[in-house]
Structure 1
């Protein structure tokens, strides 16, 4: 009788290791790496991923537990994806089982099978086919459904992406105009009918960039194109070439809010399935899209950060749009950077990588200088549109009314009277950031965080934007009982109220996290904007990224100073990116655009360079500063964070971490230590926070130190008293 085989399994747990289990013969043939198994783990049963077979184990065979069940007959994760997940776990110092588990959709993590890919769909009935086009003109959404179904049978998810609810579909079904069917998945792409609309003509810089990109083998390109320069058209024509070769394209975007318009561009251009993957989907929808990509039925995969782990049957191209965006870095748990993993994956799959941005990160620009990436520049806007003109308003010399200068009000009135749209940018949601007492100076602070409570007047709540603590807005001061409470400062809600009163003839549309919580809310807002009617948009950075609003001719930036004096060394870079991006929403159509920037520091070198020279000159200035300060991208960084209800516990833990690190590698010109120091927000959610950073000239040397240090800290008794985490290549120092 042969001994049972030993399999090495990745278990989703905080332990930084793999586990050995026996594989009973009665379960059938040995599973391949990438299959799921159900295993006993403590008092529970967990879903693990097979990594491979082990010839022996450190644990005696009679102490090994048997696998309870085999869940897959064939691997769900390819060898390339397993290697990607394993490398990411090692590089970002995260438990391998937890990292590999995040490669799977939630349904599969729970041990459930892949859902059926036969999708509910709708088609016209005989009665529906006989209706004239104007039959439902008084019900435009229902008419839109009929127009879609005149072209082809459409799936339920297709209508969801268009913002059409199931209620509308049921109403049409009750009228006998449409009927539901099961839509079998499309087996292949019809290359002879791939384009639903012709490609747009390219101007010389676009054509030159397209011709320089090699679609065979691994190459990294930075498509550095100014706002409105037509980067998306370059993507679309590259995707067309890839799909015609029978391969797939993975396109990553930073925000869910950008999905509808990007998806619209893709579905308008291509007659082929597009799988969408982001956290806003249901577990079933996400699993279905994941399987579409894995089996090759979806020629194009569009997703946010986690889409980097999506399996592709025939990978051909990887695109990271808005590559500078910090949303590509996971900020809790498994703290991976999807942009950086895209480089690893493209090299592993031997496919080209396109990193696109109008405001490239300093890391990507530095990689171009080091000739790791090829930089492709689109310096002018596509078509007839021109870069907007800039105007600064020094708020120290102008009286403001609710945060607006007289010059800004006059410019807004002019643009609205001319039938144009205006965008007002303020990266602060709520009515006001502070509630204070005029009598005694009391300020409403969060008792759990080192932060002030923000006034949300429409719901009459004070909310902490860091821990989400809420309370009703008081009517009296808690200290002196005065009723003279005042809202200090400006938020998007207050700006909306001010503008609605000043411009009663024009709709004011607010775009922030509060107004877009409801599903399909963002699609409805974008549809209103694209109607072209004059209106005022007021919003946070949700409006700054990637949106194409051709009728916006004026962009107003109410407060540009937030990043000038921050403790975070990346703050100035993020400020420049945000200002440039939001300014890029102006003048994207045929009409010229203008940007009015209000600041207390109009003469500051960073703001002056950004406005009067270029984003490239701005980046050169920042790179010079970083080089002198020996900060990323010229050095590599690891940030250890610790938090505890007692400040001393967090401080002692990181002091111990520094002691261990210095014993292993003494401070020298190649490696330096800073901390422990209080975090920029010292108290958050009732816990005190400390941090300790390590910077090193060489990435391998930093990795070697962190790979030794993390297990030591995990075994430490001090580590049991705190919550601690490791952030490799941190993008946020808070």
Structure 2
């Protein structure tokens, strides 16, 4: 009988707004997973609320198939976090909540057994330990803090004692920010609470894991790690240890931010400026920004650390919203490396190297120091070209050039870095038949080849996305460098942050100017951060280190601030320019994108959206720009366009989106168009 039914509002991972009504014969707590039928699909959903009556007609409400009570209900603070993220990023609750769970908990087919009241349930992982039994390293006492670290610890300690607030820890590379993180974590763990430590990239976790294990007495299972390269079972076991409170410290990338933690007492976001904290597909959230919100919601301290803080965080500190804590000196006795700008306008280059850089490499090899050649471009060459007719290698599916890659044991291939399409290098030019096809420019593979020919006795290690595809390969390559089994390291942005190379005496930067005049207004900020970070890898355990940056534009303000290791000078100039142009952080943005088979359809759809937005009362105080194609218009045979929406204040921007977005699926279109919205876009 319908009067005995309990109606449940269930969140499902489907691209539809709102919650979905189901019924059950007994109440079910919010935060419990359930198995339901949606259309013709069997899915796992999350109970969000109990209703006295359904929103839809009673005869359309289906029964819950099973209550999955293998886990306690997910905590209320986690539900609040998901609810805020869904509202702020304008996504359905289910598209936020369900992807935040380990894949094993979202599979509807893995159910066995029965419950008297709820039917079949999922056996997630009932092993009470489910921990790594690898012998733990001995815990060593922490080194004494330097005077600079002791001074910086005072406001951080006050923040911890107060139990809330955000600190921006601005410390030069090698200043010992990690030591302060561990000092705070040790106190929080001693109180029986948990610590969340976020890093921007997976490759930083092994090194930091080792430091954490040797400095903090966590015991078996006390440290959990979460990142996207874990197998489903590994991720589930780590997640369960955290959720059950067995793991005191969670170390992970941005996805770790969405993990329920019952006793969370401290959040640390290392390298907080890094673009990797912004998810670029699905829910396009900023883990850093959500970390700040989560800390505020729970009333716990949040520490953001960086040698090159994001301009958004820096302005918050300047306004007094964040407490600024400075570490201006390195923790070791060594000084910051000397930075030199090498003017390439009149230089005779040899495979992209100036005589000055080659001479510096010669000297470092003679004295046994390690060198790093930094080039943020993987592959052998950015493009293959025919000198006879001008043909250049082009992707068959994208408006982008294909990159020449040399692969072990196979012919060279042309690969698109946008859609992944790859094909063999043609034996002759497809247009004119000339067999003399030449690579243009250089990537890390070509640099590695040149250095191997010039220095045949040197041990050269290349670290980029191609060399680290297999599980554990990045860790093995970095171990080679740390163990002194490499003389020259060739790398991309993967090597530019977080790594502590003891014997690195020289950093040479190739092709830095590529980012200098990019269309994105954030390009100078990213270039400065990247160069400061990679420069900071040098001289961490030795004196006399140097950094050589090859450039055609040595007079540019980015390079002049870099020469002096002067972040504050760069930040002040950049913020003044942003304020003059009403750009973030002095404004707030949303980006609507449309995808269609033909560009005209995507642009036409966005034009209709623009016309509609202008008629809405909530458009007051909001700037609406014309729809334009993306810089790379076509990816995987899909054409793309964008519409920028901007406001000086968040409230009117979100008010417009709240009124506008629900109407978009009902707009007329001659052909199918997919659309999406990104809040606080990082690339325009």
TM-score range, shorter chain: over 0.9
Alpha-carbon distance between aligned partners in 2 of 1:373 and 1:703, rounded to the nearest angstrom? 24
| Aligned with 1:686 (options 614, 618, 637) | 637
2:651 alignment partner, SS class: helix
> 1:366 and 2:312 equivalent?
no
Q: Provide the rounded CA distance (Å) in 1 between the counterparts of 2:4 and 2:209.
A: 53
Alpha-carbon distance, 1:468 to partner: 0.7
Whole-Å Cα distance in 1 between the matches of residues 55 and 366 of structure 2? 78
Could you tell me which residue of structure 2 aligns to residue 190 of structure 1? none
Cα distance, 1:609 vs. partner? 2.4
Match of 2:123 among 104, 107, 113: 113
Which residue of 189, 196, 199 corresponds with 1:253? 199
Q: Deviations over 1:232-281 (max 9, x none)?
A: 00001111011111111000001001110010100111221210001111
Measure the CA separation in 1 of the matches of 2:670 and 2:580: 35
Residue 498 (structure 1) aligns with: 450
Aligned counterparts of 2:8 and 2:146: Cα–Cα separation in 1: 57
Give the counterpart of 2:385 among 436, 440, 443: 436
Q: Secondary structure at the match of 2:4?
A: coil
Report if the CA contact (8 A) 2:613-2:619 is conserved: no
Aligned to 2:291: 342
Q: Distance in 2 between matches of 1:55 and 1:564?
A: 59
User: Aligned partners of 1:421, 1:545: CA distance in 2, in Å?
Assistant: 17
TM (norm. structure 1) is: 0.88
Report the CA distance between 1:590 and its aligned residue.
2.6
**Local SS of the residue matching 1:223:** strand
Residue 96 of structure 1, CA deviation: 1.2
Question: In structure 2, what is the equivalent of residue 13 of structure 1?
Answer: 14
Instruction: Determine which of 598, 612, 634 is the counterpart of 2:564.
Output: 612
CA deviations over 1:136-189 (Å, ceiling 9, x no partner): xxxxxxxxxxxxxxxxxx625x79xx9xxxxxxxxxxxxxxxxxxxxxxxxxxx
Is 1:95 aligned to 2:95, yes or no? Answer: no
Distance 1:226 1:11 in 2: 45
8 A contact 1:32–1:75 mirrored in 2: no
Residue 606 of structure 1: CA displacement? 2.3
Following superposition, the deviation at residue 671 of structure 1 comes to: 2.0
1:650 matches 2:594: no
Identify which of 405, 413, 417 aligns with 1:461.
413
Q: Is the 8 A contact 1:416 1:534 kept in 2?
A: no
The whole-number CA distance in structure 1 between the counterparts of 2:485 and 2:23 is 67
- Provide the rounded CA distance (Å) in 1 between the counterparts of 2:647 and 2:556: 31
Task: Find the counterpart in structure 2 of residue 355 from structure 1.
Answer: 304
Is contact 2:75-2:262 (8 Å) kept?
no
In the alignment, what sits opposite 1:66? 63
Q: 1:592 to 1:14 in 2, by over 3 A?
A: same
Q: Which of 664, 681, 688 is the equivalent residue of 2:616?
A: 664
Superposed CA deviations along residues 374-423 of structure 1, whole A, max 9, x for unmatched, are 11011111121210001111111101111111110110110111111000
For residues 419 and 617 of structure 1, what CA distance do their matches in structure 2 show?
Answer: 36
- 1:143-542 equivalence runs, <5 A: 155=133, 196-213=139-156, 214-215=159-160, 216-272=162-218, 273-458=222-407, 459=410, 460-533=412-485, 535-542=487-494
Whether the aligned pair in 1 keeps the contact of 2:619 and 2:652 (CA below 8 Å) is no
Three-state SS of the structure 2 residue aligned to 1:718 is: coil
Q: What is the TM-score when the length of structure 2 is the normalising length?
A: 0.94
> How big is the shift at 1:58?
2.4
Contact kept? 2:394, 2:400, Cα under 8 Å: yes
Distance 1:653 1:116 in 2: 50
Q: Provide the rounded CA distance (Å) in 2 between the counterparts of 1:539 and 1:113.
A: 44
Name the structure 1 match of 2:624.
Answer: 673
- 2:649 corresponds in structure 1 to 698
Task: Measure how far apart 1:667 and its partner are.
Answer: 6.6
Check whether the contact 1:562–1:575 (CA below 8 A) recurs between aligned residues: no
> 232-241 vs 606-615, which deviates more?
606-615
Aligned partners of 2:28 and 2:50 also within 8 Å: no
Cα drift, residue 612 of structure 1: 3.5
What is the alpha-carbon distance in structure 2 between the residues aligned to residue 535 and residue 560 of structure 1? 23
The answer to whether the 8 A contact 1:107-1:113 is kept is: no
What secondary structure does 2:675 align onto?
A: strand
CA deviation profile, 1:663-720 (whole Å, cap 9, x unmatched): 114876x321112011111222212111000111111111111111111112223397
> Following the alignment from structure 1 to structure 2, what is the Cα–Cα distance between the partners of residues 392 and 314?
50
Task: Name which of structure 1's ranges 673-682 and 607-616 shifts more when overlaid on structure 2.
Answer: 607-616
State the aligned residue count: 661
Taking the aligned partners of 1:469 and 1:65, their CA distance within structure 2 comes to 44
CA RMSD of aligned residues (A): 1.7
Deviations 1:334-371 (A, max 9, x none): 11111100011111111100011111000000111221
Q: Report deviation, 1:76.
A: 4.0
Q: What SS class does the counterpart of residue 561 from structure 1 fall into?
A: helix
Cα distance change, pair 362–515 in 1 and its aligned pair in 2 (3 A):
same
Moved more, 72-81 or 38-47: 72-81
* 1:298–1:667 Cα change, 3 Å: closer
CA distance in 2, matches of 1:415, 1:278: 37
Which of these residues, 47, 50, 55, is aligned with residue 53 of structure 1? 50
